[in-house]
Structure formats: structure tokens, C-alpha cells
């Protein structure tokens, strides 16, 4: 599944260029091609599942739009990084430092269901799916054994990922857009020694971006 998603993602996002291809018709004038390609960057607010806490979400995507059929395909990478999180079950370790990075890789398909010509506005609705990578680092206090036992520190890195799906809308005004999106992701349970934690990235994001 991951390999299929990765191939689709690379195919759609191969450095899209901001060129609308043109062809010569029988009268010798130029006509617009069915395909338009864009890229965009975005940032905004992300409200994930239990313990991960609200934070900033950044993303880039490459878009191939089929003008004659009113829909587009895109490949996207998002990024969420946070230090102030609370993901451990009881008993919780005495954490010294920690951070988590989420990188959702996904492909999307959206249909343009409304165009407001006078306001240069287009509204799309669509579905997405992909693979969410996470990278977690934690340093915590641990008890040493023996007669002179005491507290020391231990650092661990835990990496993983899971498949996810999303629903979204994109409101494009000129080249500026607003994109609300909900991520459906399964919980991932991991452990550091005797301490268990759960990563639940499901949540809502709303981002502002520029499509070029």
C-alpha cells in the first residue's frame, strides 16, 4: 500500500511548472490545453488527537488540473512539529525533553463544484489518502539498580507510520486559498521501556496558502 501511494505521489508532484500548455487550432490561433499545473505552499492551524496539542501545520503540493472536467489531482507533503505534548499513559515517565514530527504524504482528488467569475473564485471539494510518518524523540529520567542506585537519563527514538484518509475543501480566490481538511488516522501504540504511549493524529486543520 505504501509503495503504491509513494509512486502516485511522485508521479503527480514531479516539480510541477506554472505553464498552461497551448496548441494551435485550425485557424492558427492559440487555444488553452485541458491540463494546467500549479504548485502551492500553505500554513495554518492543526488540532490533532489526544495529547498532541494544537500547533502549526505547513504543507506544499503539486497540482494537475483537468480544465475540461472541473477536477484536479495533487500530491502533497504536510509537516507538524511539537514539543509540548502529553501522549503517555499512566504511569508516565519523568520527561526531560521531547519532540514529535508528523509528515503526512498524500494524494488528493477534488471536484470544482462552484465558480464565481465576478469574484475570480473557485470552490473545490475532495478526498485524499496517504501514509503518515512520525518521528518521536524523548529523554526521560530512569531508575538505576544496585546499592548506589539513583536517577539517570535515557533517550529514545521511535519512528513509524500508518495509512490515513482525509476530506477537504479548497476555496481559491485569485491565487490565494483557504483549505479546511479533516484527517482520519488510526491510533498508533508504542512504548519506551515500561512506559506506553499512543499517537493519535486524527484531527482538523485549516490552512492559508498561495497557489502559483
Domain definitions of the chain by residue range: 2-211
How many CA atoms lie less than 13 Å away from 10 in the CB half-sphere? 5
Task: Give me the helices (H) in the chain, please.
Answer: 2-12
Beta partners for 197?
A: 88, 190
Tell the burial category of 58 from Cβ atoms under 10 Å away from its Cβ (0-12, 13-18, 19+): middle
Written as nine digits, the cell of 39 is: 504548485
Among the residue ranges 2-6, 133-137, 190-194, the one predicted with the least confidence is: 2-6
Rounded to a whole number of angstroms, the CA Rg of the chain reads 22
Beta partners for 33?
A: none
41-57: average pLDDT: 92
Distance CA 188, CA 197 (A): 8
Is the model's pLDDT at 14 over the cut of 50?
no
Distance CA 190, CA 183 (A): 21
The CATH classification number of 2-211 equals: 2.40.160.20
* More confident of the two residues 152 and 78: 78
Distance CA 164, CA 105 (A): 9
pLDDT at 193: 76
pTM exceeding the 0.85 threshold for the entire prediction: no
179-203: average pLDDT: 90
Is the model's pLDDT at 177 over the cut of 90?
yes
Split at pLDDT 50, 70, 90, the class of 146 is low
Q: How many CB atoms lie within 10 A of CB 50?
A: 14
Amino acid at each position: 500500500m505504501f509503495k503504491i501511494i509513494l509512486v502516485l505521489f511522485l508521479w503527480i508532484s514531479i516539480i510541477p511548472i506554472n505553464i498552461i500548455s497551448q496548441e494551435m487550432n485550425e485557424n492558427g490561433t492559440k487555444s488553452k490545453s485541458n491540463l494546467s499545473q500549479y504548485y502551492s505552499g500553505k500554513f495554518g492551524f492543526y488540532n490533532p488527537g489526544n495529547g498532541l496539542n494544537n500547533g502549526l501545520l505547513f504543507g506544499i503540493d503539486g497540482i494537475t488540473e483537468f480544465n475540461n472536467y472541473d477536477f484536479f489531482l495533487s500530491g502533497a507533503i504536510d509537516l507538524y512539529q511539537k514539543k509540548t505534548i502529553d501522549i503517555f499513559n499512566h504511569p508516565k515517565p519523568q520527561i526531560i525533553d521531547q519532540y514529535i514530527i508528523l509528515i503526512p504524504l498524500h494524494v488528493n482528488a477534488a471536484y470544482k463544484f462552484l465558480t464565481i467569475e465576478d469574484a475570480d473564485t473557485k470552490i473545490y471539494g475532495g478526498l485524499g489518502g496517504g501514509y503518515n510518518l512520525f518521528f518521536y524523540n524523548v529523554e526521560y529520567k530512569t531508575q538505576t539498580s544496585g546499592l548506589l542506585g539513583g536517577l539517570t537519563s535515557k533517550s529514545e527514538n521511535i519512528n513509524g507510520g500508518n495509512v490515513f484518509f482525509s476530506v477537504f475543501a479548497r476555496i481559491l480566490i485569485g491565487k490565494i486559498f483557504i483549505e479546511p481538511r479533516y484527517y482520519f488516522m488510526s491510533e498508533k501504540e508504542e512504548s519506551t521501556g515500561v512506559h506506553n504511549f499512543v499517537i493519535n493524529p486524527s484531527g482538523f486543520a485549516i490552512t492559508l496558502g498561495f497557489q502559483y
